[in-house]
């Protein structure tokens, strides 16, 4: 909404408060409409293009909580700021839980109101930009099978290519999501290569591989004497990246106590080395990636909501391989060609039965597992049984397990593998499989649904 005036609607049954708020906001370039009747205001919210709502919590006929519910029905993303008297705080807290953006106590300080409103309208600006980019994306281009080291001609990959082109032209931070093995670093590199920063450095960092007590020094640098053993100044990865791109993979490993420092880098474009009081400008573009749902991490309290919001401006989601099986032959041929080039071999293709098996298998390790599979197949000169190679790759993937995986996720991964093994032994038959597993048929169906295991995948397998 750059260059566009933010429109705000204010609702209160007190005309003096309405006029006071309108005067304050108008002086700060907001376009303001005021109403003393909530029902009348709702009609205008339906018709108007507002960027925030400010409403009193105590009003006759319809209180602020009831108003909030109706506003969220009209537009779930429209920020609603609740104003409350001292005795109405519990009601305002309830409104916050129901989705209100903020609540302010009377008498409302102008600076507090303006700060809250600024954050609310910035949120709407980012959402509007996201919607605009999504509309552009949906028009998309089709037909590309190779795109900056990414391979696939499926519709989901065409959509991904279009998103990459869009975000590469922006200065916003980028959040890449996708399961382990889908190629998040390749996507980050493609964004960098298409951006105005392409001639500068691309600095990838796996957050899960850095000891937690070293993360701050590694990213932000330190001064001599900042801690025991710091004999000289050292610049961090952000400074090292210069005007290039820094890629923080496995952002879910970022310690909660340091997330506020990363947020400052994003918002203020500056950082402090450990042991220094001076601020250093940050010029690098920032891309982060996670194989876990950061929104759920926010709900669990392991990831800051404000940092998530700042990162999730234009989401880039990589589809899992099981959702684009039409790309498997193309990927397989690419990995065979790579193997031939590296090892000076002349393996031409994979036999038809092997391809059929590959198209039925659900590839929990995604493209990385497929690549390992093809390499093993080439080493064994195209003569191995697919099940044997799959077992090798399963062992490889377990060794490459994400450091962000919780005990629950690790146990679920093991359970899923065992269920697949049993189903394969019984050619997808549920009743004998459930008996082997020692669970009811209903429980097995529920677990198959949970782990996205398709029954038909095991039929006709030898």
Q: Write the DSSP assignment of 331-368 as a string of letters.
A: HHHHHHHHHHHHHT-------HHHHHHHHHS--TTHHH
Q: What is the pLDDT of residue 348?
A: 66
Q: What is the pLDDT of residue 382?
A: 57
pTM as predicted: 0.59
Phi, psi dihedrals of residue 245, rounded to the nearest 5°:
-130, 135
For residues 122, 124, 130 and 131, what is the CA-based torsion angle, rounded to 10 degrees? -160
Average confidence (pLDDT) over 71-87 = 87
Half-sphere exposure of 23 (CA within 13 A, CB side): 6
pLDDT at 1 over 50: no
Band (pLDDT 50/70/90 cuts) for residue 387 is low
Looking at 3.50.50.60, 3.30.1240.10, 3.20.20.140, 3.40.50.2300, the CATH number of the domain 7-130 comes to 3.40.50.2300
Say how far apart CA 315 and CA 190 lie, in whole Å: 15
pLDDT at 215 over 70: yes
pLDDT in tens, 346-366: 776 676 677 777 888 888 889
Class of domain 152-319: alpha beta
Range in 21-35, 222-236, 239-253, 397-411 with the lowest mean pLDDT: 397-411
Phi, psi dihedrals of residue 102, rounded to the nearest 5°:
-165, 160
Q: What is the pLDDT of residue 462?
A: 46
Q: Give yes or no for a cis peptide into 107 (omega within 30° of 0).
A: yes
Nearest Cα to Cα of residue 286 among 124, 176, 439: 176
> Domain extents for the chain?
7-130, 152-319, 322-458
Same fold, 7-130 and 322-458: no
Class of domain 322-458: mainly alpha
> Bridge partners of 78?
none
Q: What is the pLDDT of residue 405?
A: 57
Range in 91-100, 250-259, 309-318, 384-393 with the lowest mean pLDDT: 384-393
Q: Which two tokens stand for residue 451?
A: 């782990």
pLDDT in tens, 290-332: 988 898 899 888 999 989 988 988 789 999 999 998 899 889 8
What lies within 8 Å, CB to CB, of 270 at 6+ separation is 264, 279, 280, 281, 282
Say how far apart CA 304 and CA 132 lie, in whole Å: 26
* DSSP state string for 293-317: -HHHHHHHTSS-HHHHHHH-SEEEE
* Alpha-carbon distances of 39 from 61, 62, 351, rounded to whole Å: 9, 8, 69
Q: What is the pLDDT of residue 354?
A: 76
Question: Which residue has 């019984």 as its token pair?
Answer: 426
Average confidence (pLDDT) over 214-223 = 90
pLDDT in tens, 427-456: 888 888 998 888 988 888 888 877 777 666
Q: What is the pLDDT of residue 6?
A: 87
Q: What is the pLDDT of residue 329?
A: 87
Say how far apart CA 271 and CA 145 lie, in whole Å: 41
pLDDT in tens, 165-197: 989 988 889 999 999 899 999 999 999 999 999
Q: What is the pLDDT of residue 356?
A: 76
Q: What is the pLDDT of residue 21?
A: 93
Pairing assessment for the beta strands 280-281 and 270-271 based on DSSP bridges: antiparallel
Measured at the CA of 198, the angle between CA 148 and CA 147, to 5 degrees, comes to 10
Band (pLDDT 50/70/90 cuts) for residue 77 is confident
Say how far apart CA 302 and CA 304 lie, in whole Å: 7
pLDDT at 391 over 60: no
Say how far apart CA 404 and CA 303 lie, in whole Å: 13
């Amino acid at each position: 909404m750059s260059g566009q005036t933010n429109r705000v609607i204010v609702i209160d049954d007190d005309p003096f408060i309405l006029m006071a708020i309108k005067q304050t906001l108008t002086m700060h370039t907001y376009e303001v409409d005021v109403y003393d009747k909530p029902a009348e205001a709702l009609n205008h919210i339906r018709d108007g293009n507002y960027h925030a709502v400010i409403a009193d919590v105590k009003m006759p006929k319809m209180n602020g909580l009831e108003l909030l519910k109706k506003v969220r029905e009209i537009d779930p993303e429209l920020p609603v700021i609740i104003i409350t008297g001292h005795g109405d705080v519990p009601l305002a807290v309830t409104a916050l839980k129901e989705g209100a953006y903020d609540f302010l106590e009377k008498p409302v300080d102008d600076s507090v109101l303006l700060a809250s409103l600024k954050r609310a309208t910035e949120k709407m600006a980012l959402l509007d930009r996201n919607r605009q980019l999504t509309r552009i994306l949906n028009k998309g281009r089709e037909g590309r099978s190779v795109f900056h080291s990414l391979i696939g001609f499926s519709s989901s990959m065409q959509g991904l290519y279009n998103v990459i082109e869009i975000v590469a032209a922006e200065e916003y931070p980028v959040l890449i999501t996708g399961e382990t093995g889908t190629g998040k670093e390749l996507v980050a590199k493609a964004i960098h290569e298409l951006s105005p920063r392409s001639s500068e450095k691309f600095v990838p960092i796996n957050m899960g591989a850095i000891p937690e007590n070293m993360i701050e020094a590694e990213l932000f640098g330190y001064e001599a004497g900042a801690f025991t053993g710091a004999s000289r100044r050292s610049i961090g990865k952000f400074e090292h990246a210069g005007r290039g791109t820094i890629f923080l993979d496995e952002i879910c490993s970022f310690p909660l106590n340091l997330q506020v420092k990363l947020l400052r880098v994003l918002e203020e474009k500056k950082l402090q080395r450990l042991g220094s009081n001076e601020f250093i400008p940050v010029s690098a573009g920032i891309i982060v990636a996670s194989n876990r749902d950061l929104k759920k991490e926010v709900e669990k309290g392991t990831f800051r909501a404000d940092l998530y919001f700042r990162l999730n401006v234009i989401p880039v989601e990589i589809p899992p391989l099981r959702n684009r099986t039409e790309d498997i032959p193309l990927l397989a041929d690419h990995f065979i060609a790579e193997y031939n080039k590296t090892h000076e071999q002349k393996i031409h293709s994979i036999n038809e039965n092997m391809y059929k098996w590959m198209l039925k298998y659900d590839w929990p390790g995604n493209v990385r597992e497929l690549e390992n599979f093809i390499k093993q197949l080439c080493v064994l000169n195209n003569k191995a049984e697919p099940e044997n190679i799959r077992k090798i790759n399963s062992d490889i993937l377990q060794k490459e397990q994400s450091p962000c995986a919780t005990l629950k996720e690790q146990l679920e991964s093991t359970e899923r593998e065992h269920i697949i093994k049993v189903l394969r032994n019984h050619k997808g038959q549920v009743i004998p499989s459930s008996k082997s597993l020692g669970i009811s048929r209903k429980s097995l169906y529920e677990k198959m649904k949970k782990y996205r295991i398709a029954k038909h995948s095991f039929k006709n397998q030898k």
